[in-house]
Amino acid sequence: MFDREAFRGKVALVTGAGAGIGEAVARRLGGLGADVVLVDVRQDLVEAVAGELRELGTRSFAAVADVTVPAQVDAAVQSCVERLGRVDILVCAAGGFRSRCPVAEMSDEMWGSILALNLTGVFHAMRAVLPHMMAQRYGRIVSVSSDAAVTTRHISNAAYAAAKAGIVALSRHVAREVGRYNITVNAVAPGITLSDRIRRLYTDSQLAEFAERTMVGRLAELDDQVMPILFLASDGARHITGETILVAGGY
């Protein structure tokens, strides 16, 4: 789908780049020539991946930041601009939740922490990169929502679903605000994806049950999520903005 240097000359910043979809996106962008700033709270993970991407000839580096802390996100973006000169692509992949919990039993702390990581963190990252993208009159923003935003599958969590639905609305409204600056803002909404985290959380029999509920009879691999993200981050999608692509195998 992409030639080996499809993103050569582009600078990408990826949050949640230490594992899962974020790591897979960062690796693929670097492999296609982009200079990647890998943002995560886990320094050892992103440092290792950044080192591998530098071996490919990119100027990639790790930036340790918690997306729920705006000053840390601002610092990561500023470091990107100072070291690499610009920021062309933002992929917001940081997110998740620790446990399922009915709303009747949910604490304020759980509700707030899930929204902070999954929605407010995306806002922090968008707000930090947009002035730079607007000044250069170019940008591609892709955020990772979830099929939980549009379904009621039982393995989710109401706070997580609300946050992921918020990403859909946030992306659509920011797209309207910045479209005239040649900036597109989109999202993908993955279904259950076979990351290491998902394999740890569920048994083989549970995963088989989830797979049976899809139209295609299987769960997504990481690359099934990566490729739509790369497409939206590419100039091939320059006339697509304010959209969310559901990547769930017809769940």
Contact of 141 with 126, CB cutoff 8 Å: yes
pLDDT at 5: 83
- Please give the model's pTM, rounded to 2 decimal places: 0.94
pLDDT at 153: 67
Residue 147 token pair: 């099929």
- Report how far apart, in Å, the C-alpha atoms of 220 and of each of 12, 23, 125 are: 24, 16, 26
What size, in residues, is the chain? 251
pLDDT at 55: 97
Q: Is 251 a catalytic residue?
A: no
- Alpha carbon distance 220, 227 (integer Å): 12
> Across residues 171-194, what is the average pLDDT?
96
The more confidently predicted of residues 157 and 145 is 145
Task: Tell me the three state secondary structure of residue 143.
Answer: strand
pLDDT at 125: 98
**What are 209-241's pLDDT values in tens digits?**
889 888 999 999 999 999 999 999 999 999 999
Residue-wise burial string across 117-129, b where 16 or more C-beta atoms lie within 10 A, e elsewhere: bbbbbbbbbbebb
Instruction: Spell out the residues 6+ positions from residue 105 whose beta carbon is closer than 8 angstroms to its own.
Output: none
Fold of 11-247: Rossmann fold (3.40.50)
Domain ranges of the chain: 11-247
Q: Residue 12: which pLDDT band, with cuts at 50, 70 and 90?
A: very high
pLDDT at 154: 60
Biggest alpha carbon distance in the chain? 52
pLDDT at 155: 66
Among candidate residues 138, 160, 181, 251, the one labeled active-site is 160
pLDDT at 32: 97
Burial of 4 from C-beta contacts in 10 A (0-12 / 13-18 / 19+): exposed
Q: How many CB atoms lie within 10 A of CB 217?
A: 10
- Alpha carbon distance 132, 136 (integer Å): 6
Q: Residue 108: which pLDDT band, with cuts at 50, 70 and 90?
A: very high
Distance of CA 57 to the CA centre of its chain: 24
> Across residues 45-60, what is the average pLDDT?
97
Percent residues over pLDDT 90 in the chain = 79
pLDDT at 105: 86
pLDDT at 3: 75
Instruction: Kindly report the average pLDDT of the chain as a whole number.
Output: 94
The more confidently predicted of residues 2 and 133 is 133
